[in-house]
Amino acid sequence: MTVQSDLQKAVAACESAKGTYKVMAQSTQDQSAKQMYDEMSGDLEKHLQYLNSRLNYISQSNELNQQQ
């Protein structure tokens, strides 16, 4: 399951980057930078939703194929 494995890696990388942006937002005094990091974190949340949706679809499809 190369695609499934690749998606799992992409989700993990995205979650890591999201966490990094949150830490950066909390550690800066610059309000414009804080807003930028918060927005970037929000963008990654949307990406995570898409990736997880695709991962769930692939997982369900694989289970259905195995039952046949």
pLDDT per residue as tens digits for the range 1-37: 588 899 999 999 999 999 999 999 999 999 999 999 9
Query: Model pTM?
Result: 0.82
Length of the chain: 68
Structural domain boundaries of the chain?
A: 2-67
42-66 pLDDT tens trace? 999 999 999 999 999 998 887 665 5
Query: Rounded distance, CA 1 to CA 24, Å?
Result: 35
Contacts 24+ apart (CB under 8 A), 5-11: 7/51, 7/54, 7/55, 7/58, 8/55, 10/51, 11/48, 11/51, 11/52, 11/55
Query: Rounded distance, CA 54 to CA 7, Å?
Result: 8
Q: Are 47 and 7 within 8 A, CB to CB?
A: no
Confidence of residue 67 (pLDDT cuts 50, 70, 90): low
